Structure 1
Amino acid sequence: MLYRRVDVPFELYEINILDASDEELVKISEELGLALNLEEMKKIKEYFAKKGRNPYDIEIQSIAQAWSEHCCYKSSKCYLKQFLFDVDAEYVISAIKEDAGVVEFDEEHAYVVALESHNHPSAIEPYGGAATGIGGILRDVLCMGAQPVALVDPLFFGRPDTPDEVIPRGTKHPLYLLSGVVAGIRDYGNRVGIPTVGGMVFFDDAYLTNCLVNVGCIGIARKDRVIPSKAGGAGDLFVLAGGLTGRDGIHGVTFASAELDEKSEEEARGAVQLGNPIIKEPLIHACLEIVEKGLLTGMKDLGGGGLSCVVGEMSLAAGCGAEVWLEKVPLKEKGMAPWEIWISESQERMMLTVKPQHVDEVLYIFQKWDVPAVVVGRVTDDKILRIYYHGHKIYEMDIEFVVSAVEYCRPYTSKKVEAVDEVREADCEKTLLEMLSHYNVASREWIIRQYDHEVRASTVVKPLQGRPNMEGHGDAAVIRPTESWKGLALTADVNPWMTKIDPYWGTASAFDEMIRNLVAVNATPHSFADCLNFGNPEKPERMGEFVESVKALGWMARNFGLPCVSGNVSFYNETPHASVPPTPTLMGVGVVEDVRKAITVDFKRKGSGIVLVGETAREFGGSLYCAVTGMKSTVVPRTSPERLRKYCDAMLEAFDKFKVLSCHDVAEGGIAVAIAEMCIASGIGCSVSVDTVGVEPYVALFAESNTRWVVEVENPEEFVEFFRENGLKAYHLGYTGGDAFEVEGQFSIAVGELDRAWRNGLTKYTGW
């Protein structure tokens, strides 16, 4: 008998793993939804054999949560520590080890940054999955003692023009997923009063059966009020505050640590959490009031694994143990088994550790804000976690074994990219219009307008920039988080077409684009967070994609001098139909010394000079040019962190020396799309020549070489000379003016025609 009901007045089972064969161990894992492999089950069996007893169901369920890929990073820690985690900077207060990165902003304040994924839940239930993703990232920032001030949302879906008849069983249409995800982000963010100021939306066939929903948040905190994600010490009491605990979200982390298939929608719907933004706002206010009054010793949100993970992680980080009285946990419904209470991922919950003398005041503050709160346990002076339920001890394990017992350095194979370049000249005018109307370039206004990016009245540079009601996309948003004129710039970047061809150079290009976007608004790059989305790490080729990507990220970050302060790894983004492309989403944070000097993308006036800064090469791998012409290239643009640093320093110095009116980084579609977007946002045309760039005209217009910007400046000749004196490349292309985008010898397209192609590019599929 594998399961024996224990003689107690509630549901509790003993799991007979000591007598179980290998086949039976696998059966136990499958039947209990543990998602543990045979070796991990044998490790648990060995542990309990030494203790001389079998585990209870709550104990083995707890181990499954802690050992899930989502919680313990068992497949990624080895390579992250080897290639990425050694990048540091003196202004970083806390990185990687906490729920969010904490970085010095000014003498009094720090900013707090986090980036996470909510992919599998969003594929099953797009509205709820995306909403709870926003709720979770807000808690990650809040638990450091910070007021959340802005959100970003990088999203990835199958192509919007996918015919219904090719949608696999158990998969929802990309447009259904898009509308549901956007609505979930909109409703949660707007209702809790935090602006969504940036992000990206990318469409590709490879995301058809596994969409990606990444969410980022930045907050602001007083440096002397930053709270650690650990208990203070023995004798502290655990205070659980916020939403009630229910059966929603059970096995959420194990569900997120396995591939999706056609049965997932039916079998895993209960693993999707239910968010409630109405309780989140008072929860934020109450927690921040307690932080301000110095009444707590530690705080952590209940995310993946619920109580199971938060208590163990807070205790172990303090070198302590814990005792929990599970019957004190407020429930949504009667009849929940202890193991369900323990691992539930019900939303809007925070765990605080508080000295006994402060507990009454803490509970009063929560009561004042109408937020449920109760003492559920205490910190002990050993490293053992004990759980009691109505007077019965139902759990006793070493916390170290549960929280940090698994780590793999999985084998990997890195694919060799064969050099292919079949690119040739195409009709430039037709190509540009097709590029502007392409669903990966066209206007996202329908999405952006649904988000309240003005709430809190601190968004200085907005996601849409230019003519009122006719704006274009900006490179980065800028917020003013304090009363000073100092600001923060935010951007989110990755090009999956490039990483699909070459994970190493594609990731390096994503880093380059992140830096370019920050510099374009006159921000000094300061830190970044990553959300690394990949397929099944048990497959060597998928693990190879991950390792190459992390290698590139570490190389760029280390040599540029930019610390990675927070991040997330999301594996198993794969179905029997396809794996997602390597998608290392990056969220960059820059410091703007004076937000009044921030720069936007729209041309400001007629008659000013247009300058291209940077070096152009024949690099079309993963390019928009190849996508719209059907030509093939595997030559993904190269970059150099040292060269990137030189150009960034020179750009920021030039912004101080010269009258720079607008700036736009060069990305998808090359300088042709960049200049067209500057025209669209302003309604001002221009006349340029690309003859001096030193490459064939179509290469100059459409290549996507890294480390380049288009700049509108008052005195272009002096601006170009400044860069050349610094040993860098810059080219005076022409001047603004007129009502058309004219390229000498190539085309002349009215700005109105550019605008129509761009604004209607996505709506022709969605109807929105």
Structure 2
Amino acid sequence: RRAQEVINHCWAQGDKNPVLFIHDVGAGGLSNAFTELVNDAGRGARFDLRAVPLEESGLAPKEIWCNESQERYVLAIAPESLPQFQAFCERERCPFSVVGVATEERQLQLVDEGAESPVDMPMDVLLGKPPKMHRDVKTVAREFQPIQLTGVSLEKAVIDVLSHPTVASKRFLVTIGDRTVGGLSHRDQMVGPWQVPVADCAVTLADYAGFAGEAMSMGERTPLAAINAAASGRMAVAEAITNLLAAPIELPRVKLSANWMAACGEPGEDADLYATVKAIGMELCPALDVSVPVGKDSLSMRTQWTAEGEKKKVTSPVSLIVSAFATLADVRGTLTPQLNRDIDDTTLVLVDLGKGRHRLGGSVLGLTLGQPGDEVPDLDSPQDLINLVNAVNALRAQGQILAYHDRSDGGLLAAAAEMAFAGQVGVSLNVDMLVTEGDGISDSRMDSGDAKNWAQQVSARREELTLKALFSEELGVLLQVKTEDRNAVMQTLREHGLSKYSHFVGKTRPASSSIDVGKGQLQVWRDTKAVFSASLFDLQQVWDSVSWKINQQRDNPACADSEHAAAGVPSDPGMHVSLTFDPLENVAAPYLNLSRPRVAILREQGVNSHVEMAYAFTQAGFEAYDVH
């Protein structure tokens, strides 16, 4: 914390920032951090090893130079700025030491008092252009079977998917921490008056007075990598962007951090890693005009052990975890999954970038059935994702989107359920437009084989297509719009080349609706019949069950039971703001001609909200002083 305060003081100086360059100390310790620090400036350096702060004086030079002790930074500071930097450090009681100087000569030299220089070598030897690694790898052909849906109950599928840890509520992870440290959180995991953890992205403010800020999201589709590694990478990037799209982003301003994990050396894994890196770094991201400036890797994702004399081993498929970041001019354009319950007649629009393929490979439904599947979802055209970003931003600018949620884990049904939970409003889904064959021809015209069993075969086929439509995890977004705006919304989607794959898939049933059927429920309709219906309360209890069971083990069981019992209760009015004052009134205005009373903001190591408190007191007419 002390180091962070010093860094904050430095960058707050603007053009007079004493820090010319900063690098955290990680893998390789000082040997990597200092070397990269001076190399990026085209310089060499001379370091005094014994100037490095040590608790153990007997360390050998290699132990000092290469140890990876954490919570350290290396900085480049101009000599004339050193007194200013020293003053900042003394003020914050942050230890630092000057351990070397940069040199014009590109030579790296370590000086160890009373001993021969442990290192004295040209920088180019370390960081020149080494020969590229060459690895001979082989792609391993794997055979997979399509998921068999015959006899699968829709009701059981809904319960199994909503209660699967991948889809279920992550409340147990969210409520154990403070989500508003520092006072600049605009959107966190929780959404709406009932605080349901379904947010697509996090949004923070840049300062306390303005509306500029930043949005952050994540994307990962690791289960797909066991079947198609490159597709899993493309889907991870696309998921991060569709999550981030809840905020008013522009693609060229999006930056990605890629965390790669693989079991290199295992049959086929090196080839899968190469294929995924190529798909992301050389094909998809350049096409999207999105950069990946940072990342990390862990390439030994395997574990081995012996049990009862038998050797066992588990390896991880190629796993790409994508974190997306973007600056925002105005955070107030951020959309949430909370369905609007104040408008009587609204429609749900599915923008399906899967284009009706409904590929189930690697889906949560497949996991619940114990079937990985064969064909996985994929981003087949980067232009489709670009068009989606542009279309959503256009609809946002026109004020035509009431709620937004991406389709991901659990598919359309999970997305609609989460939106209904957040808004506490009934939803009636209609899958008629989705249960068609890939060419769009109605199932009633398909070749059903034996004519005597035509009706039975068509019925079974439509049940399978219903499951695919509801649980496939193809890329897409679910939008709530006013029914009166349907044509205008579709026209905007048409202008961006998406109308062919956009469908009206449902209606909301708020308490004020003139239609009673479906109020307080999630229903699925097909062929004018309700093929599934359940109360939102019962479904949210299922969805919350994983958090409940984990909380029982971690927290007071009685508290866990009470919290779970309250999830989705229809009579809960939710949280509502009722201010007894005008927040826009400047309470300090009558006293501007008088001296402001002074207030001390006490700060100690570990304190995080001192700036927030100082701003609040300043707005209230005080003169705040930082005391620590």
TM range (shorter): 0.7 to 0.9
Query: CA separation in 1, counterparts of 2:506 and 2:48?
Result: 73
Q: For structure 2, list consecutive stretches of 5 or more residues without a partner in the other structure.
A: 305-312, 437-464, 510-518, 555-628
Query: CA separation in 2, counterparts of 1:361 and 1:724?
Result: 59
Query: CA separation in 1, counterparts of 2:468 and 2:176?
Result: 37
Amino acid at match of 2:478: W
Matches within 5 A, 1:231-630: 278-288=1-11, 293-395=16-118, 396-404=120-128, 405=130, 407-416=132-141, 418=143, 420-425=145-150, 426-468=152-194, 470-482=195-207, 483-525=209-251, 526-539=253-266, 541-554=268-281, 555-576=283-304, 577-605=313-341, 606-614=344-352, 615-630=355-370
Query: CA separation in 1, counterparts of 2:480 and 2:146?
Result: 30
Amino acid at match of 1:731: H
Query: Does the CA-based 8 Å contact 2:263-2:318 persist in structure 1?
Result: no
Give 1:634's match in structure 2, choosing from 374, 379, 399: 374
When normalised by structure 2's length, the TM-score is: 0.73
Q: CA deviation at 1:417?
A: 5.2
Match status 1:647 vs 2:388:
yes
Q: CA deviation at 1:685?
A: 1.4
Query: CA separation in 2, counterparts of 1:360 and 1:493?
Result: 45
Give 2:537's match in structure 1, choosing from 752, 758, 768: 752
Q: CA deviation at 1:289?
A: 5.3
Q: CA deviation at 1:308?
A: 1.3
Query: CA separation in 2, counterparts of 1:715 and 1:705?
Result: 28
**1:403-439 CA distance string (max 9 Å, x none):** 4546413222233454632332521122112111111
Q: CA deviation at 1:520?
A: 3.1
**1:254-313 CA distance string (max 9 Å, x none):** xxxxxxxxxxxxxxxxxxxxxxxx444434335435766332332222222222112222
Structure index of larger Rg: 2
Amino acid at match of 1:564: V
Task: Rate the CA distance shift 1:427–1:536 in 2: closer, same or farther, 3 A.
Answer: closer
SS for the counterpart of 1:628 is: helix
Q: CA deviation at 1:484?
A: 3.5
Task: Rate the CA distance shift 1:499–1:528 in 2: closer, same or farther, 3 A.
Answer: farther
Number of positions where the alignment pairs a residue of Structure 1 with one of Structure 2: 490
SS for the counterpart of 1:297 is: strand
Root-mean-square deviation (Å):
2.3
Query: CA separation in 2, counterparts of 1:485 and 1:711?
Result: 25
Query: CA separation in 1, counterparts of 2:27 and 2:13?
Result: 24
Query: CA separation in 2, counterparts of 1:280 and 1:573?
Result: 33
Query: CA separation in 1, counterparts of 2:291 and 2:126?
Result: 30
Query: CA separation in 2, counterparts of 1:347 and 1:472?
Result: 33
SS for the counterpart of 2:99 is: strand
Query: Does the CA-based 8 Å contact 2:428-2:522 persist in structure 1?
Result: yes
Give 1:740's match in structure 2, choosing from 488, 510, 521: 521
Query: CA separation in 1, counterparts of 2:277 and 2:475?
Result: 19
**1:126-184 CA distance string (max 9 Å, x none):** xxxxxxxxxxxxxxxxxxxxxxxxxxxxxxxxxxxxxxxxxxxxxxxxxxxxxxxxxxx
SS for the counterpart of 2:268 is: helix
Amino acid at match of 1:559: A
Query: CA separation in 2, counterparts of 1:562 and 1:635?
Result: 27
Task: Rate the CA distance shift 1:504–1:415 in 2: closer, same or farther, 3 A.
Answer: farther
Q: CA deviation at 1:353?
A: 2.1
Amino acid at match of 2:413: A
Identity of aligned residues (%): 25
SS for the counterpart of 1:374 is: coil
Q: CA deviation at 1:536?
A: 4.2
SS for the counterpart of 2:245 is: helix
Query: Does the CA-based 8 Å contact 2:401-2:479 persist in structure 1?
Result: no
Amino acid at match of 2:154: C
Amino acid at match of 2:94: V
Matches within 5 A, 1:26-65: none
Task: Rate the CA distance shift 1:591–1:310 in 2: closer, same or farther, 3 A.
Answer: closer
Q: CA deviation at 1:677?
A: 0.6
Query: Does the CA-based 8 Å contact 2:245-2:389 persist in structure 1?
Result: yes
Moved more, 402-411 or 732-741: 402-411
Give 2:468's match in structure 1, choosing from 686, 699, 707: 699
Q: CA deviation at 1:547?
A: 0.8
Task: Rate the CA distance shift 1:282–1:485 in 2: closer, same or farther, 3 A.
Answer: closer
Query: CA separation in 1, counterparts of 2:390 and 2:256?
Result: 22
Match status 1:717 vs 2:486:
yes
Q: CA deviation at 1:658?
A: 4.3
Query: CA separation in 2, counterparts of 1:508 and 1:339?
Result: 42
SS for the counterpart of 1:688 is: strand
Q: CA deviation at 1:725?
A: 5.4
Q: For structure 1, list consecutive stretches of 5 or more residues without a partner in the other structure.
A: 1-277
Query: Does the CA-based 8 Å contact 1:663-1:712 persist in structure 2?
Result: no
SS for the counterpart of 2:388 is: helix
**1:623-655 CA distance string (max 9 Å, x none):** 011011223411111221012212221222122
Query: CA separation in 2, counterparts of 1:522 and 1:699?
Result: 31
Amino acid at match of 2:393: L
Query: Does the CA-based 8 Å contact 1:410-1:538 persist in structure 2?
Result: no
Query: Does the CA-based 8 Å contact 1:299-1:352 persist in structure 2?
Result: yes
SS for the counterpart of 2:433 is: helix
Amino acid at match of 1:471: V
Query: CA separation in 1, counterparts of 2:17 and 2:398?
Result: 46
**1:375-414 CA distance string (max 9 Å, x none):** 1111222222222222423322223223454641322223
Q: CA deviation at 1:607?
A: 3.3
Query: Does the CA-based 8 Å contact 2:51-2:98 persist in structure 1?
Result: yes
Query: Does the CA-based 8 Å contact 2:364-2:410 persist in structure 1?
Result: yes
Q: CA deviation at 1:355?
A: 2.7
Moved more, 737-746 or 689-698: 689-698
**1:688-742 CA distance string (max 9 Å, x none):** 2111224322221111122343434453522234424544222222221211101
Residue number in structure 1 paired with 2:610:
none
Task: Rate the CA distance shift 1:712–1:750 in 2: closer, same or farther, 3 A.
Answer: farther
Query: CA separation in 1, counterparts of 2:261 and 2:539?
Result: 36
Task: Rate the CA distance shift 1:301–1:754 in 2: closer, same or farther, 3 A.
Answer: same
When normalised by structure 1's length, the TM-score is: 0.60
Q: CA deviation at 1:319?
A: 2.5
Query: Does the CA-based 8 Å contact 1:516-1:665 persist in structure 2?
Result: yes
Amino acid at match of 1:442: A
SS for the counterpart of 1:305 is: coil
